[in-house]
């Protein structure tokens, strides 16, 4: 009896060791998406009245958890019964990530100059403010849903072929990390300027200068996160192309892995951008023509 109990403990310890190792690998593979997720949500969670930032962020966090509860069962079912589909979804996701990375670079060098409509500034009622918040929360949760699919599928791809229990534990850990970790950091970022204002009310000039630095640093931090997230998107996409497409895997073998993956991400993104952009313009023209009628 005792030997059986200790054998069970050994099995559990071995399982946890395997899960820890696989979780570390999965975290590295999904770091790019987590960085992009962090940058996107930091941007979406800022700009609210100071007293409403945390309630809004908490609402988005709950929506993010619900997204994971919806996505995870479908991902595990696919992995258990049609694992080949995971590779296809990974490649399609990589195309999307590469396209998104190139699109961000393109918009940086060629920003849109749409004519802005002048809107008369009016004092919003509390009901109007809550309505605006609701729309922004909904938009953030939809964006989170798309990013969550990418995170879960990429994490699942790193444990492909492992025991289903290991897959469930590792991917669930990454999903929780993607919510708690990302939104925890976002909460700190969006409150950075408020903390800076508190420091500016002190008598110490050094502390005041620190507070002023935090206030000025907030938009720059968000921009930096966006930049790092863009590079990471291309690296993650290139890594998937390299590991999941045999013809691509044997290309540029003498190059360092990171450089190879970055170049593959750029090439894949440029191809996707060249195909998608004309189609978007065509659909936009058709939509505008239909609206004119």
* Average pLDDT rounded to a whole number, residues 17-31: 62
Asked if the structure places residue 111 within a domain, the reply is yes
What's the rounded Cα separation, in Å, for the pair 227 and 273? 19
Q: Which of 24, 74, 12 is nearest to 174 (CA)?
A: 24
Asked if the structure places residue 4 within a domain, the reply is no
Cα–Cα distances in angstroms (integers) from residue 206 to residues 43, 195, 198, 199, 213, in the given order = 29, 15, 13, 9, 11
- Percent of all residues in the chain with a pLDDT value above 90, rounded to a whole number: 8
Number of H helices, E strands in the chain: 10, 0
Asked if the structure places residue 82 within a domain, the reply is yes
Count of domains for the chain:
1
Q: Is 290 helix (H, G, I), strand (E, B) or coil?
A: helix
Asked if the structure places residue 9 within a domain, the reply is no
* Cα dihedral 35, 38, 44, 48 sign: negative
What's the rounded Cα separation, in Å, for the pair 246 and 223? 36
Kindly state the DSSP code that residue 47 receives in the 8-state scheme: S
The DSSP result for 66-84, as a single string, is: HHHHHHHHHHHHHHHH-TH
Asked if the structure places residue 146 within a domain, the reply is yes
Asked if 39 and 175 touch (Cβ cutoff 8 Å), the reply is no
What is the structure's pLDDT at 86?
A: 79
Asked if the structure places residue 61 within a domain, the reply is yes
In terms of residue numbers, what domain contains 130?
A: 16-191+224-292
Highest mean pLDDT of the ranges 43-57, 122-136, 170-184, 269-283: 269-283
pLDDT in tens, 179-188: 888 888 888 8
**Taking CA 77 as the corner, what is the angle to CA 72 and CA 82, rounded to the nearest 5 degrees?**
130
Tokens 């996107």 -> residue:
40
What is the structure's pLDDT at 117?
A: 40
Cα–Cα distances in angstroms (integers) from residue 289 to residues 277, 282, 283, 293, in the given order = 18, 11, 10, 7
Asked if the structure places residue 78 within a domain, the reply is yes
Query: Is it the case that residue 263 has pLDDT exceeding 90?
Result: yes
Asked if the structure places residue 158 within a domain, the reply is yes
Backbone angles phi, psi at 223, to 5 degrees: -65, -40
Cα–Cα distances in angstroms (integers) from residue 63 to residues 73, 116, 183, in the given order = 17, 31, 11
Look at the pTM and tell me if it is higher than 0.75. no
pLDDT in tens, 118-167: 334 345 566 666 777 787 788 778 777 877 887 888 888 777 777 778 78
């Amino acid at each position: 009896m005792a030997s059986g109990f200790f054998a069970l403990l050994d099995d559990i310890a071995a399982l946890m060791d395997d899960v820890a190792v696989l979780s570390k690998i999965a975290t590295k593979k999904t770091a790019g998406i987590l960085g992009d997720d962090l940058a996107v949500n930091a941007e979406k969670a800022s700009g609210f009245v100071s007293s409403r930032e945390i309630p809004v962020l908490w609402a988005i966090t709950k929506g993010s958890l619900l997204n994971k509860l919806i996505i995870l069962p479908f991902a595990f079912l696919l992995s258990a019964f049609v694992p080949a589909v995971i590779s296809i979804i990974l490649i399609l996701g990589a195309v999307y990530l590469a396209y998104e990375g190139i699109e961000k670079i393109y918009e940086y060098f060629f920003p849109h100059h749409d004519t802005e409509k002048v809107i008369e500034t009016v004092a919003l009622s509390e009901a109007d403010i809550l309505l605006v918040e609701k729309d922004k929360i909904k938009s953030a949760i939809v964006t989170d849903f798309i990013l969550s699919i990418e995170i879960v599928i990429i994490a699942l791809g790193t444990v492909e072929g492992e025991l289903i229990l290991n897959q469930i534990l590792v991917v669930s850990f990454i999903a929780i990390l993607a919510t708690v970790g990302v939104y925890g950091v976002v909460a700190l970022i969006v409150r950075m300027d408020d903390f800076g204002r508190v420091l500016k009310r002190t008598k110490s000039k050094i502390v005041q200068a620190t507070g002023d630095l935090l206030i000025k640093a907030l938009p720059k931090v968000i921009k930096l996160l966006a930049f790092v997230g863009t590079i990471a998107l291309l690296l993650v996409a290139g890594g998937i192309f390299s590991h999941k497409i045999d013809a691509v895997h044997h290309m540029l073998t003498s190059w360092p892995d990171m450089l190879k993956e970055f170049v593959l991400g750029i090439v894949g993104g440029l191809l996707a951008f060249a195909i998608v952009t004309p189609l978007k313009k065509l659909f936009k023209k058709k939509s505008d023509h239909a609206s004119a009628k």
